[in-house]
Amino acid sequence: MQIGTLESGDFSGYEVDLLRQLAERLEFTIQYRRALWSVIVGELSSGGLDLVCSAATVTAERAREVDFCTPHLKLALALVTREELSADLDIEASRMGVRRGTTAEAYLRQKTVGKEAAMLSESNDELYRALARGMLDGVIDDSPIAQHFSRVIPGLKYVCHFEGTGGEYAVMTRRGNTPLRDQINGMIAQMEFDGTLSSKETLVR
């Protein structure tokens, strides 16, 4: 089985642990590699991948291209900026960065009446490094990702999450691959029952 997974090269974290548990219990093999979001979603849609477990927020638009399994994590959109900048950052007047094709990009456009982001990237590393170097004033991102980068990159701070932007992560499978989706859903339910996975675990603060 071919698996699309995290962008980061160390392949560690919450969803990697989840994927390893699924692989062990369902007896499939994980093959890790780095890939851009647009690439892995395209490969999933075309049949090159069987599933993607990589910060996939459930949206109606994506559900037209892929099938979502039972959600496993709650989240919200959040703001990260530099420590010396005010927490009351004016998003419309600031240089903001977001990942391309994400709910964060859609949110920024909605809040700034169509204003383009100062940086659109498919790379988390690129966005947060640009913020740390002063090329951006803020990054809007999913709260789990925002929390991680605000901790690991010196000089950055997690400011807040935005009310009304709640969402959920879920494993994505190729459209029509109902047997695999049902297997994953059943295993997620079992993991919630045995305590391996907390029901509707959340990374919002």
Cα torsion for 72, 78, 83, 85, to the nearest 10°?
180
Architecture of the domain made up of 3-73+168-198: 3-Layer(aba) Sandwich (3.40)
Is residue 117 a contact partner of residue 92, using CB atoms and an 8 Å limit? Answer: no
Q: DSSP code of 95?
A: -
Please tell me the distance from the alpha carbon of residue 136 to that of residue 130, in angstroms, as a whole number. Answer: 6
| The model's pTM | 0.84
What's the confidence (pLDDT) of residue 198?
A: 74
Each residue's pLDDT, cut to its tens digit, for the chain (205 residues) gives 444 444 445 566 788 889 899 999 999 888 777 777 788 888 998 888 888 888 889 999 889 989 999 999 999 999 999 999 998 999 999 999 999 889 999 999 999 887 788 998 988 899 999 999 999 999 999 999 999 999 999 999 999 999 999 999 999 999 999 999 999 999 999 999 998 887 555 555 5
Architecture of the domain made up of 77-161: 3-Layer(aba) Sandwich (3.40)
Domain ranges of the chain: 3-73+168-198, 77-161
- Assess whether the region 3-73+168-198 and the region 77-161 belong to the same CATH fold: yes
